[in-house]
Chain A
């Protein structure tokens, strides 16, 4: 699998990462090399094999559907780059 600049640009947009145009060719080469490397998985016959879903054969636990914490607005907002009146803020999204 070889990725071109346009594909890398699209993936970068899906991941919401700004990639300078000048870096696209080298990045495309590196990502293509990694994908080329993982393509050897195609050699493995996985017919009838269930994908791993639990690392240690453990069933996920249930818990009671109850509120166990809260009332920590200050803590939640403590690291926000910009918080106003108890809210996170983002750039204007509606004109």
Chain B
């Protein structure tokens, strides 16, 4: 064993160390439980489950000894609190799910359990995964472990998977699950200097994941290396008859795709991702990424995705419409919060429960969706948006006729200050300008950290692949990761 702290290991290194018996899953888990307790001020977890984690760790140690350990045996992870976990409080960071203990396990968390993963707890998020800064959580904002150089101002970790991102970046988990509807894995990954992969729509089952926008929601891994993302995705993915949109195709060995060779690969560079006023540092890191791939033998190709500017307006019809429909289930009757004070009728109970139970951003989106789907407006808003969405998907199909993978910035800026954008919904929505198109088209997108800004904050780039071609995305990401040599850590980890 080298001097590397247990909490600083990658999944790949921990897997090897566990196999060789250099440390036990219990030791590894305890180190993370200690880190989780030490950094509670980040508010990365809504619910900590240390006892459960140690029990799972002991089971992993037994499996390792018996030689039948799964791919994630003994790896301590955070579980975004949007995944239903049997018997463990599941909140979606909303007041309306007060006290909800699912009687079943989501497919993705069940798959991870089956692979031997140890769950440290449920990570914080924007309420119902609606937000880009983790400030809409009923359980309070998450702090980014990173701070600007020489500055103590608290920054947001991005969102909606902000608790997962902060936990992985701050070494309070070796990896974590995320979900991504319009950028909720990739943008927080970029803001916290980690790797986040939104797989192709249909790759991971949505069963048991609290629904936001069903045609966009997709679970994926958040890790500190591309290899770890490959390992973890392999454990999460797979066909599930309980999800009608789950893809019935084999799960490849994602780790085996990391050949280190991208020679001859064509990398699309979309002109529309360099809008007027693009942050100069973001543009510079993008140019750096292009140069890395050139040096590795790939060929940049100029491409056009002409409907890019319409992706956000499309998203802000489609996602709220689906959200208003999905969130109709919170009625105070079957689970969660029920407001009874001053209630005179059933409608009254619905209205008071939902009025008190939903936060402001969720309320805004339900109302927009309700309006867009209401009689007389359906064609003008929802149908129009679904047509533009088809054109956005077609843009990508055409682009992939001339390239194998697309490289773009992940987010238009580095992490910003808490409170900076929360009062202006549209400014907040612009955080996802580079990630939403991929979501609308259902394509895999990976964010990886490439450089630090002048202020000392991580900046990420996004790789977009063809449907179900996570392997190419991971292969290119692995090559870029080696070229970038991003080894910076937030100060709390160095301390």
Contacts and interface: CB of A to CB of B under 8 A. Distances in A.
B425 A30 contact: yes
A31 B384 CA distance: 19
Contacts of A20: 355
B49 interface: no
Nearest to A63: B241
Interface in B349-404: 349-352, 354-356, 358, 363-364, 366-368, 370-371, 374, 381, 383-391, 393
Interface string A56-72: 11101101000000001
Contacts of A49: 387, 390-391
B425 A11 contact: no
Interface residues of B, number: 74
B478 to A, nearest CB: 25
Contact of A31 (B245, B347, B371): B371
A89 to B, nearest CB: 8
B279 interface: no
B200 interface: yes
B368 A56 contact: no
A51 B387 contact: yes
B370 to A, nearest CB: 4
B146 interface: no
A22 interface: no
Contact of A12 (B200, B367, B386, B393): B367
A24 to B, nearest CB: 11
Interface stretch (B72-80, B152-160, B306-314, B407-415): B306-314
A55 B215 contact: yes
B487 interface: no
Nearest to A83: B334
A90 interface: yes
A27 B393 contact: no
Contact of B103 (A57, A78, A81, A90): A78
Contacts of B343: 91
A15 B354 contact: yes
B383 A11 contact: no
Given A15-B324, A15-B354, A34-B364, A56 B442 contact: yes
A63 B348 CA distance: 39
A51 B388 CA distance: 8
A11 B367 contact: yes
B101 interface: yes
Interface in B200-233: 200-202, 215-216
B273 interface: no
Contacts of A33: 425-426
Contacts of B449: none
A88 B329 CA distance: 14
B386 A52 contact: yes
A3 B336 CA distance: 32
B336 A34 contact: no
A78 B90 CA distance: 14
Interface in B241-293: 241, 244-245, 247-248
Given A27-B363, A81-B338, 19 more contacts: A19-B363, A31-B364, A31-B371, A34-B425, A38-B313, A38-B314, A38-B316, A40-B310, A41-B314, A41-B317, A41-B384, A44-B307, A51-B383, A51-B389, A56-B201, A79-B99, A88-B333, A89-B333, A91-B348
Top 3 nearest A-B pairs (CB, nearest first) are: A18-B355, A51-B386, A79-B335
27 contacts: A8-B367, A13-B351, A15-B324, A16-B350, A17-B351, A18-B354, A18-B355, A19-B355, A27-B363, A30-B364, A30-B425, A33-B426, A38-B317, A39-B313, A41-B310, A41-B317, A44-B388, A46-B387, A51-B390, A52-B386, A52-B390, A55-B201, A56-B200, A58-B245, A63-B241, A81-B332, A88-B334
